[in-house]
Amino acid sequence: MEGTSTLAHCHRMERNFKFHTAMSRVRTLAAYRRPLRLTDEALLAGPVLDCPSGASSFGVEARGLGSDVTSADPAYRLPPRTLERVFDEARTGPGRNFLRDYARDWAGSSCHRRGYLPGSPGHLPFPDGRFVLTVSVSPLIGLRGPQDPVRALLEMTRVTAPTGQVRVALLSVPGCRGPVAVDFLRRELATKGVGSELLAHAPSSPDCAPGLLVLRPAPTAH
């Protein structure tokens, strides 16, 4: 009976992630570098958070360089076999690298998982200032409600050190509703003490419009 209940729970979770995965792509470390202006120096400067990661192989590839990367995504509550069905595009190419690494991470006890942890941009299970760099290549249009992108960006800045950065590649996804106005986001963040800068993407960066949003977390109050 317990096994049946667990299976049914996994199926419900799998259905719940369909909207999330509709905008997911298998993104490699190389695909992150240009739109996020990532150098090896930035990756090795301290703990890095990627959220939401989806089926990205960025984490496993960057960790191979010696980077301390944590990948967070709501779908990482799912066991490997269920996750493979959700991210069916990951079954070939670089996605297989992600799936193998995820299965290895899952094989440890829940309190010892390090590479892949369940979490969404608006609800991150990390203490304040945990990361030197937080990155995201997921479209903000995937977040529901006009205030949700602001809340998500504030949460990402919360877990980033005051001396660190949040870098968000603003993406354009065909078939989705229009992107949240970047000017609105920046004004709202400024009222919370979060500074921002909008940088142009490199011309060859795919799916990117209008640029790279760089946030500098507000100093911690004493």
| φ, ψ for residue 96, nearest 5 deg | -65, -35
Share of the chain above pLDDT 70, in %: 69
pLDDT tier at 139, thresholds 50, 70, 90: low
Burial classification of residue 24, based on how many CB atoms lie within 10 Å of its CB (0-12 exposed, 13-18 middle, 19 or more buried): buried
Mean pLDDT of 54-78: 93
Q: pLDDT per residue over 142-200, tens digit each? A: 455 555 888 889 999 999 999 999 999 876 544 444 445 778 888 999 999 999 998 87
Which of 13-27, 114-128, 172-186 is the least confident region? 13-27
More confident residue, 136 or 89: 136
Which of 20-34, 97-111, 127-141 is the least confident region? 20-34
What residue ranges define each of the domains in the chain, with the CATH number in brackets? 2-216 (3.40.50.150)
Mean pLDDT of 43-48: 96
pLDDT tier at 105, thresholds 50, 70, 90: very high
Which pLDDT score, from 0 to 100, does residue 210 have?
Answer: 58
Helix H, strand E, coil C: the string for the chain is CHHHHHHHHHHHHHHHCHHHHHCCCCCCHHHHHHHHCCCHHHHCCCCEEECCCCCCCHHHHHHHCCCCEEEECHHHHCCHHHHHHHCHHHHCCCHHHHHHHHHHHHHCCHHHCCCEECCECCECCCCCCCEEEEEECCCHHHCCCCCHHHHHHHHHHHCEEEEEEEEEEEECCCCCCCCCCHHHHHHHHHHCCCEEEEECCCCCCCCEEEEEEEEECCCCCC
Nearest alpha carbon to residue 124 among 86, 164, 151:
151
Which pLDDT score, from 0 to 100, does residue 202 have?
Answer: 55
